[in-house]
Amino acid sequence: MFKTIFTNSFGILFSRILGFIRDLLTASTLGASIYSDIFFVAFKLPNLFRRIFAEGAFTQVFIPAFAKTAKKSLFTVHILLIFLSIIVGLTLIVNLTPELFTKAIAVGFSQENIKTAAPFVAINFWYLPLIFLVTLLSALLQYKNHFATTAFATSLLNLALITALLLAQGKSDATIVYYLSFGVVIGGVLQLLVHIIALKKLGLCPLMVAGLKHLKHKKGFIKKDTQKFKKEFFPAVWGNSTAQVSAFLDTFLASFLITGSISYLYYANRIFQLPLALFAIATSVALFPSVARYLKNNDETKALQNLKKAFWFLAYLLSFATVGGIILSHEIISLLFERGAFHAQDTQNTSVVLAMYLIGLIPFGLQKLLALWLYAKQMQLRAAKIATASLLTYAIFALLLIEPLGVAGLALASTLGGFVSFALTLKTFGKANFLAIIRSKNILYLSLSLIVFAWLLFVIRDLLHVYL
């Protein structure tokens, strides 16, 4: 289990390092301006779908269905064609009416800004069909216990964007956003190519070819399998998408605030997502197949043993990341972004947003782990209801906090939604199961170590302020 976790984590870490280099260049080049806001808006919708698909929802439904069906090639190709036709159709509609979709994403934009952003929204949306294909192929690779390609593939997107920024040096802000937008699409093409190569090396290409060849005449053999997949897929997507939909609504509401607010949310959320992806998502992806297998064989004891190990592994990592991130939030933002067009006031605003996000790191991370129990037991509908309650909590508090706290209130509302999601997931997971996991001296050790860690960070921070 831990070998797979470390493989995923290292791949994610490598990608996120490149992502931070990309963000450094973006912040230095565009700062927190209307053009940085426009690019983040344009990339928001396809990136939202990427996170929903790639971070578990599709895989959690597809792999069990793929394993059970007797007609694997037919089933895979049928699912691919259905979803791809819908996504390509949506992409074409967006490209025909880009201003309409831009206004839907950023209602607070002026008509002039909507008109400026519309072409970028149309270009960026072509990333969506590419990333769907990547996600389906990555699910096939995971079925073969191959995780490395998917873990490292996102780095190709970041490399494409870094290259775009370097090539656009010295050009106008609008031209830079064009370079970035085409960089997104090129990054998607590169991700797809490496997955196709991995598929070929593992001998899975004949499976796809056979499905295409026989689908027309043998579609009836997989009717029940595809119906069950569709029934479970949409609740699973909704159940996995609370944080992403909240982030999307953040952009929508932040478009009504001062210029730069969308950028503050973006930069802060990028840092927040690092420990969440590096620890929680990597662990969940690695753990899901074994937990599902144990529960399928009615061996809850072994499933809980695996969850217990992963729980404390995450609890320690996320707790230290939360405390360290909140105490050093200003220093982190200053070190990473405060240069070029990104000024001291931008650092101050972004660091407050980051602290509000980090308060919810532990509940968001542990919820992803405990939610494995729900998905392994095929409780997708229950997970969807929990997600709905969490999203409603976010929406209510976002509207309540946006006026007194501004952009920081949106981040805090997202965090409160995370606490609700964790509490409801914990209730479904069961009191007895949870007590079996936390019944350990780790609680005492973790509490004492966090106190010492926080004290050391305050001392180090004060010394840095004195001598630097």
Q: In terms of domains, do 402 and 328 share one?
A: yes
Q: Which one has a higher pLDDT value, 454 or 44? A: 454
91 and 134 within one domain: yes
Tell me if residue 446 falls in helix, strand or coil.
helix
Residues 121 and 208 in one domain: yes
Same domain, 331 and 436: yes
Domain assignment present for 138: yes
Q: What is the pLDDT of residues 353-398, one digit of tens each?
A: 999 999 999 999 998 888 878 877 777 788 888 888 998 999 999 9
**Are 152 and 247 in the same domain?**
no
Q: What is the mean pLDDT of residues 419-441?
A: 86
Residues 6+ apart with CB under 8 A from 437: 304, 307, 308, 311
What integer pLDDT is reported at residue 83 of this predicted model?
Answer: 83
Q: Of 198, 230, 262, at which residue does a domain stop?
A: 230
Do 287 and 402 sit in the same domain of this protein?
yes
Structure tokens at 323: 């405390």
pLDDT tier for residue 5 given thresholds of 50, 70 and 90: low
Residue 262 shares a structural domain with residue 137: no
Both 63 and 89 in one domain: the answer is yes
pLDDT of residue 95: 92
In a domain, 337, yes or no: yes
Is there a contact between 389 and 412 (Cβ–Cβ < 8 Å)?
no
Higher pLDDT, 144 or 236: 144
What is d(CA 114, CA 350) in angstroms, rounded to the nearest whole number? 24
Q: Is residue 25 part of a domain?
A: no
Q: Tell me what the mean pLDDT of segment 93-114 comes to.
A: 83
Residue 241: its pLDDT value, please? 66
Task: Report, as an integer, the average pLDDT of 41-66.
Answer: 70
Q: Flag whether the pTM goes above 0.85.
A: no
Mean pLDDT in the chain? Answer: 83
CB 15 within 8 Å of CB 154: yes
Q: In angstroms, what CA-CA distances link 205 with 16, 184, 222, 259, 320?
A: 30, 26, 20, 49, 44
Does residue 361 lie within any of the structural domains?
Answer: yes
- Contact between 84 and 133 (Cβ < 8 Å): yes
Give the residue from 240, 221, 220, 243 showing the smallest Cα distance to 232: 240
| Contact status, residue 132 vs residue 95, Cβ threshold 8 Å | no
Whether the CB-CB separation of 165 and 26 falls below 8 Å is answered with: yes
203 and 290 assigned to the same domain: no
Contact between residue 304 and residue 436 where contact means Cβ atoms under 8 Å apart: yes
82 and 147 housed in the same domain: yes
Q: Is the pLDDT of residue 189 over 90?
A: yes
Answer yes or no: is 20 within a domain.
no
Q: What is the pLDDT of residue 130?
A: 92
Confidence check: pLDDT of 171 > 80: yes
| Other beta carbons less than 10 A from residue 385's beta carbon | 16
Query: Is position 133 within any domain?
Result: yes
Q: What is the pLDDT of residue 20?
A: 77
Which of 45-54, 146-155, 260-269, 284-293 is the least confident region?
A: 45-54
pLDDT of 111 over the 60 cut:
yes
- Comparing 416 with 44, the larger pLDDT belongs to 416
At residue 164 the predicted structure's pLDDT band, cuts being 50, 70 and 90, is very high
Last residue of a domain, one of 170, 202, 230: 230
Query: Is residue 4 in some structural domain?
Result: no
Confidence of residue 12 (pLDDT cuts 50, 70, 90): confident
State the average pLDDT over residues 278-304: 75
How far is it, in rounded angstroms, from Cα 26 to Cα 30? Answer: 6
Mean pLDDT of 46-75: 71
pLDDT value for 370:
86
Q: What are the tokens at 353?
A: 């947003």
Return the higher-pLDDT residue of 30 and 51. 30
pLDDT of residue 228: 76
- Residue 169 DSSP one-character state: T
Query: 171 or 296: whose pLDDT is higher?
Result: 171
Q: Give the pLDDT score at 53.
A: 61
Is pLDDT above 70 for 22? yes
Quote the pLDDT of residue 298. Answer: 77
Quick check: is 47 in a domain?
yes
Which stretch of DSSP H or E encloses residue 363? helix 361-376
| Per-residue pLDDT, 3 | 62
Cα–Cα dist 139/146, whole Å = 9
Tell me what the mean pLDDT of segment 112-128 comes to.
89
Q: What CA–CA distances, in Å, run from 335 to 276, 328, 338, 347?
A: 21, 10, 6, 9
Q: Are residues 209 and 306 in the same domain?
A: no
* Residue 243 contacts residue 414 (beta carbons within 8 Å): yes
Q: Is the pLDDT of residue 55 over 60?
A: no
Confidence at residue 400, expressed as pLDDT on a 0 to 100 scale: 94
* CA–CA dist 13, 281 (Å, integer): 12
CA nearest 235: which of 415, 49, 58?
58
The residue out of 211, 230, 249 marking a domain boundary is 230
Percent pLDDT > 70 in the chain is: 91
pLDDT for position 221: 67
pLDDT of the residue at 51: 65
Domain that holds residue 54: 33-230
pLDDT in tens, 317-356: 999 999 999 998 988 898 888 877 788 888 899 999 999 9
**Residues 68, 198 within the same domain:** yes
Q: What is the pLDDT of residue 322?
A: 94
Q: How many domains does the chain have?
A: 2
